[in-house]
């Protein structure tokens, strides 16, 4: 057995944890702070609330609220331009994965010249960035504890990650109260993304006893609480448990990577603008079915953790296959689209080849996948997921 482990810097968890941002800005001696967020957070008044925590004697706060879903290199460059121009010495990422990914990139773009596009790849960032604090408002992406910023190039629709240790957040403030405003559809899809992180890390070729521990705890919580958080959004216990699940899923993902579901989901976002969570939720049952034959012990355990059912004397392959059915039921209970045609974004059979080529190009998740997948397999899974 051999593995290494890493985590984000310091994590504060609990209702009201986001107010900590003031103490942190004080202790870091920050003078000029940029809050990277989106229009929704601005409209809900959350951006201003966080900014008011940070604003102190002699401290200026700038709010950049232009982050879009599936954030682009162009938007990131624009945010970085603001941070450079104002000589910001602290970046706060507030929102879902998109805002946090852009914030992480901005932190290193303050100290490294040029466009974000220059750093898409693995380990290309030269200098450490300015300190960064992440405050998630969704329970799903795990971006608050990972070293990745996924940005889409508008020019060719290709998604690429800046993957670098220098992107690990220095602080993460996990405040379940901030997730209460999420509508059911966002709660459900981001929650399924958290589950995809846990399950794909759990079955990854890079899985370790360390990542397994976090993945298992995340799956138990998503299985038990995601439906409640979605359909009874003011239930604080459900919100807290989902925030914890998302955090644990993020730790599992940071240490073991994701698999083929994430790779297959990429072109749905890049080519058709389907949100990351929706794309992963849709594909996860199909990928689980494909994979469970190759890693039955892990999928059988996942089925038990997600459902709370012991499955008595059933054989390992039967229980492993049940995992795919449990996921399918979850997607239906959450009223998320469960076929590509239901997405209504114009995906047709003739697109599958190009989508498969793009998915195969997402090489690291594909390499992590427990069952080897080739171009024909990708097309087959898209075809199965069509109707
Ligand atoms: Fe994800």
Task: Tell me the angle at which helices 236-256 and 184-202 cross, rounded to the nearest 10 degrees.
Answer: 40
Element (H, E) at 104: helix 97-109
Distance CA 122, CA 147 (A): 10
pLDDT recorded at residue 88: 98
For residue 387, report the distance from its CA to the centre of ligand 1, in Å.
Answer: 23
For residue 197, report the distance from its CA to the centre of ligand 1, in Å.
Answer: 6
Q: Which residues contact 117 (CB under 8 A, 6 or more apart)?
A: 73, 151, 153
Token representation of residue 382 = 């898209």
Query: Max CA-CA distance within the chain?
Result: 67
Distance CA 297, CA 292 (A): 8
pLDDT recorded at residue 99: 97
For residue 193, report the distance from its CA to the centre of ligand 1, in Å.
Answer: 5
Look at residues 233, 3, 58, 254 and name the one whose alpha carbon lies nearest to residue 146: 254
List of E strands, the chain:
10-13, 32-36, 60-64, 90-95, 121-122, 132-136, 148-153, 158-163, 171-174
For residue 262, report the distance from its CA to the centre of ligand 1, in Å.
Answer: 6
Domain 10-179, CATH class in plain words: alpha beta
pLDDT tens-digit readout, 13-37: 999 999 999 999 999 999 999 999 9
Residue 7 — pLDDT band, cuts 50, 70, 90?
Answer: confident
Distance CA 182, CA 190 (A): 10
Token representation of residue 162 = 């800046």
For residue 105, report the distance from its CA to the centre of ligand 1, in Å.
Answer: 17
For residue 276, report the distance from its CA to the centre of ligand 1, in Å.
Answer: 6
For residue 65, report the distance from its CA to the centre of ligand 1, in Å.
Answer: 22
For residue 190, report the distance from its CA to the centre of ligand 1, in Å.
Answer: 8
For 80, the 3-state DSSP assignment is helix
Would you say residue 194 has pLDDT above 90? yes
Is domain 184-386 in CATH 2.60.40.1840, yes or no? no
Look at residues 201, 311, 313, 316 and name the one whose alpha carbon lies nearest to residue 257: 201
For 96, the 3-state DSSP assignment is coil
Residue 293 — pLDDT band, cuts 50, 70, 90?
Answer: very high
Look at residues 119, 102, 112 and name the one whose alpha carbon lies nearest to residue 169: 102
For residue 129, report the distance from its CA to the centre of ligand 1, in Å.
Answer: 24
For 18, the 3-state DSSP assignment is helix
The number of CA neighbours under 13 Å toward the Cβ of 139 is: 36
pLDDT recorded at residue 6: 77
For residue 159, report the distance from its CA to the centre of ligand 1, in Å.
Answer: 13
For residue 236, report the distance from its CA to the centre of ligand 1, in Å.
Answer: 24
For residue 232, report the distance from its CA to the centre of ligand 1, in Å.
Answer: 24
Residue 3 — pLDDT band, cuts 50, 70, 90?
Answer: confident
Q: Which residues contact 246 (CB under 8 A, 6 or more apart)?
A: 136, 138, 139, 140, 141, 142, 190, 191, 194, 218
For residue 313, report the distance from its CA to the centre of ligand 1, in Å.
Answer: 34
State percent of the chain over pLDDT 70.
99
For residue 28, report the distance from its CA to the centre of ligand 1, in Å.
Answer: 31
For residue 61, report the distance from its CA to the centre of ligand 1, in Å.
Answer: 30
Stretch 38-67: mean pLDDT: 93
**252 conformational bin, left if phi > 0, alpha if psi -120 to 50, beta if neither:** alpha
Domain boundaries, the chain: 10-179, 184-386
Across the beta sheet with 121-122, the strand order is 121-122, 158-163, 148-153
For residue 76, report the distance from its CA to the centre of ligand 1, in Å.
Answer: 19
For residue 1, report the distance from its CA to the centre of ligand 1, in Å.
Answer: 27
The number of CA neighbours under 13 Å toward the Cβ of 94 is: 31
Stretch 129-138: mean pLDDT: 97
For residue 219, report the distance from its CA to the centre of ligand 1, in Å.
Answer: 14
For residue 191, report the distance from its CA to the centre of ligand 1, in Å.
Answer: 10
pLDDT tens-digit readout, 59-99: 999 999 999 988 999 999 999 999 999 999 999 999 999 99
Would you say residue 156 has pLDDT above 80? no
């Amino acid at each position: 057995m051999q593995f290494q482990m890493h985590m984000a810097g310091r994590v504060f968890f609990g209702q009201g944890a986001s107010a900590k941002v003031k103490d942190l800005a004080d202790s870091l001696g920050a003078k000029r702070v940029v809050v990277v967020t989106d229009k929704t957070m601005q409209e809900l008044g959350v951006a201003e609330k966080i900014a008011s925590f940070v604003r102190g004697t002699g401290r200026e706060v700038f709010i950049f609220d232009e982050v879009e879903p599936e954030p682009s290199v162009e938007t990131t460059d624009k945010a970085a331009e603001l941070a450079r121009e104002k000589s910001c010495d602290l970046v706060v990422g507030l929102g879902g994965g998109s805002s946090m990914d852009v914030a992480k990139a901005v932190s290193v773009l303050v100290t490294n010249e040029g466009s974000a596009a220059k750093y898409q790849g693995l380990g290309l960032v030269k200098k450490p960035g300015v300190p960064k604090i992440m405050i998630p408002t969704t329970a799903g992406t795990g971006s608050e504890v990972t070293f990745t910023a996924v940005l889409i190039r508008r020019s060719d629709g290709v998604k690429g990650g800046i993957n670098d240790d220098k992107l690990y957040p220095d602080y993460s403030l996990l405040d379940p109260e901030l997730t209460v405003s999420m509508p059911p559809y966002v709660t459900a899809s981001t929650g399924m993304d958290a589950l995809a992180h846990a399950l794909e890390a759990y079955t990854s070729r890079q899985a370790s006893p360390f990542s397994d521990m976090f993945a298992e705890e995340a799956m138990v919580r998503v299985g038990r609480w995601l439906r409640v958080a979605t359909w009874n959004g003011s239930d604080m216990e459900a919100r807290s448990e989902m925030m914890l699940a998302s955090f644990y899923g993020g730790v599992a993902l940071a240490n073991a990577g994701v698999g083929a579901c994430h790779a297959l989901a990429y072109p749905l976002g890049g080519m058709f603008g389907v949100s990351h969570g929706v794309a992963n939720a849709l594909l996860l049952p199909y990928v689980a079915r494909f994979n469970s034959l190759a890693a039955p012990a892990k999928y059988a355990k996942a089925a038990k953790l997600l459902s709370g059912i012991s499955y008595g004397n059933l054989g390992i392959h039967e229980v492993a296959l049940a995992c795919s059915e449990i996921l399918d039921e979850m997607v239906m209970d959450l009223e998320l689209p469960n076929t590509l045609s239901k997405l209504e974004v114009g995906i047709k059979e003739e697109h599958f080849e190009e989508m498969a080529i793009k998915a195969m190009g997402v090489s690291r998740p594909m390499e992590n996948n427990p069952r080897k997948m080739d171009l024909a397999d990708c097309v087959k899974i898209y075809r199965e997921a069509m109707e």
